[in-house]
A and B are shown apart, each in its own frame.
Chain A
Amino acid sequence: MSKPVLQVTGIAKRFGGLQALSDVGMTIHAGQVYGLIGPNGAGKTTFFNVITGLYAPDAGRFELAGKPYQPSSVHEVAKAGIARTFQNIRLFADMTALENVMVGRHVRTGSGVLGAVFRTQAFRQEEQAIAERAQALLDYVGIGELAPCKARTLSYGDQRRLEIARALATDPQLVALDEPAAGMNATEKVQLRELIDRIRRDGRTVLLIEHDVKLVMGLCDAVTVLDHGRQIAQGSPTDVQRDPQVIQAYLGTGEH
């Protein structure tokens, strides 16, 4: 199997009296779509927020593409190579779709105030490259013609796509999608599935949090199931589906 992109072990996070995560770990290999599922309140988003630096973990070891990293600040994690989307879409509402993706290039570009004010050659070339790359990414996710529209005027499904394009613009090692199918209708889900599949075919690694078990099972190469902040199963989608603990977590035990 190819080399691991993200390797985390022993993650713990406590909010006051609630142990939101305890001893969670996973290894995501390059080119995988890795699913993270679990019932409501299982700790999926908390896990997400911990690996992307939004919440400081109480314990845990983190390695990205073979290099250890400390998720101490969100922008450092983005720079290290994890790009994420949000469960409740967070776009830059007053910017155009294109500008949203251009912001994603921020972390891989470097021109500063002086370059901007004097419009140096380097600045203009960089700006041109940013815009071209952003347009290419919009085309890639299938909303290229919406480039000049303000983000808040886009339809829900298109906003989801825009968020993915923006995440891809940071040249991430790992694309982390937090419930991308939430609120989508059946057609939009099929299109989303095709998009994620395409992202994988282009050699990127995806971490997918999802409620929709059908989507996860059809798409993911490996799955981790969380329940009450604990990892209850890990493996291929078919194995996990048969795991009695998983069935119990999702359907209950039948004893009351």
Chain B
Amino acid sequence: MNWVTTPDRSPMRFLLWGLALLVLPLLLQSMGNAWVRIADMALLYVLLALGLNIVVGYAGLLDLGFVAFFAVGAYLFGLLASPHLTDTFPWIAALFPLGLHLPLWAVIPIGAGLAGLFGVLLGAPTLRLRGDYLAIVTLGFGEIIRVFLNNLDNPVNITNGPKGLGQIDPMTVLGHPLSKQLDLGWIELPSVTLYYYLFLAIVLVSVLVCYRLQTSRIGRAWVAIRDDEIAAQAMGINTRNLKLLAFGLGAMFGGVAGVLFASFQGFVSPESFSLMESVMIVAMVVLGGLGHLPGVVLGAVLLSALPEVLRYVAGPLQALTDGRLDAAILRQLLIALAMILVMLWRPRGLWPSPERAKTLPTERQAA
């Protein structure tokens, strides 16, 4: 079968990858839990990038407000699994005398659903927009959500404003709260490592879902819309519905990532959901390789881990200049430099979809 990119399905390679991913946190935790934490955040960014890849990579809709869906998921879990609502509203406290502690498995679908709904809400009025114009509207949408979170502490305190929501429950898997260390006898797994395994499982499922969507009737229709919207319509594709579907499904991934983020941190505040985050997620997708899953994953891992790794590079460099260069600024500088170099040398991304085509002697571009 030559019509789908069949990845190398040799079981040996799968096994090795699986083993490496399982062992990785154990190696990292021996260097310190901070390293596992970096891996955890990288996995969350992979999830976000996978979601955005559906919108930007497949359907070709530039969304600069993606972090809004991340925020929706995070605040949903923050509200449903922290004392904030019961403390603020006596009637909720009366309804739930033990406090609101919705379990993870209930909140993940709700978070996905709510974020998906927001995705469709954002998509519906922007259907006619394309390219730069769409980017501007989505950017505004992302900011609106953040501003709301910042200000909805007045007159009724829903989001607790800039102070954020704290004391969010950790996730509990098989009766074991992931915030506690798990002693297996021969090895001790700290909280961050447990979260790593949970995130890894969710990311793997998400990659599979994305891959299956991509190689389906729906995925082809998205790419068709991206390549030529009018031709796609002429083929009978209902572009309105499919764009909404892309917005909704993409947002769902963002929502799930948000739920996981909230319980992982135990705290959410509006400043985690700034425009810069949206830009970074777009950068991950574009830098990795638009619409190509391995590239998107690579981009997310690199861009989320690189700043942390650069911390260790920036230190010595700072010492070199007698402390005149601020470490944070230096890091930004190095990341910017890395991005510029990638875009110069690999304009289609670090790991773009392969050119399967045998190039024929007569080359003429489609008009």
Contact = CB atoms under 8 A, between A and B. Distances in A.
Q: State yes or no: do A and B come from one complex.
A: yes
Interface of A: 52, 54, 73-75, 78-79, 83-84, 86, 88-96, 98-99, 102-107, 109, 111-113, 115-117, 119, 123, 126-127, 130-131, 134-135, 146-156, 158-159, 166, 170
Contacts of B224: 92, 95, 103, 106
Interface in B314-367: 353, 355-360, 362-367
17 contacts: A89-B367, A90-B234, A94-B223, A94-B226, A96-B356, A103-B221, A106-B220, A106-B224, A111-B218, A113-B213, A116-B217, A116-B219, A126-B217, A149-B357, A152-B366, A156-B362, A156-B364
Contacts of A104: 235
Interface in B1-51: 1-3
A106 B3 CA distance: 16
B140 to A, nearest CB: 28
Nearest to B2: A148
Contacts of B355: 150
Nearest to B248: A113
A153 B223 contact: no
A74 B230 contact: yes
A149 B235 CA distance: 20
Interface of B: 1-3, 209, 212-213, 216-221, 223-224, 226-228, 230-239, 245, 249, 353, 355-360, 362-367
Given A96-B3, A131-B1, A149-B357, A116 B223 contact: no
A156 B360 CA distance: 11
A155 B364 contact: yes
Nearest 4 pairs of A and B residues by beta carbon: A107-B236, A78-B236, A116-B216, A74-B233
A155 B237 contact: no
A117 B209 CA distance: 6
B360 A150 contact: no
Given A103-B224, A113-B245, A113-B249, A75 B363 contact: no
A103 B216 CA distance: 10
Contacts of A95: 220, 223-224, 227
B366 A159 contact: yes
Contacts of B362: 155-156
Nearest to B359: A153
Contacts of B228: 90-93
Given A86-B231, A153-B358, A91 B366 contact: yes
Given A95-B227, A113-B213, 13 more contacts: A52-B234, A86-B230, A93-B366, A103-B221, A106-B217, A106-B235, A111-B218, A127-B217, A131-B1, A135-B3, A146-B360, A149-B356, A149-B360
A134 to B, nearest CB: 8
Contacts of B365: 93, 152
B3 to A, nearest CB: 5
A44 B39 CA distance: 60
Contacts of A96: 3, 356-357
Contacts of A117: 209, 212-213
B2 A98 contact: yes
- Interface core residue of B3, B234, B363 (most chain A CB under 10 Å): B234
Contact of A147 (B2, B217, B219, B353): B2
Contacts of A158: 360
B216 A92 contact: no
Contact of B234 (A83, A116, A131): A83
B366 A89 contact: yes
Nearest to A149: B357
Contacts of B356: 96, 148-150
A83 B235 CA distance: 7
A115 B223 CA distance: 18
A73 B232 CA distance: 12
A147 B227 contact: no
Contacts of A131: 1, 3
Nearest to A172: B236
Nearest to B239: A75
A125 to B, nearest CB: 13
A86 B245 CA distance: 27
Given A78-B234, A84-B234, A94-B227, A102 B357 contact: no
A51 to B, nearest CB: 12
A79 B231 contact: no
Given A106-B237, A147-B3, A90 B357 contact: no
- Interface core residue of A113, A135, A146, A166 (most chain B CB under 10 Å): A113
A116 B235 contact: no
Contacts of B359: 153
Contact of A111 (B209, B216, B233, B238): B216
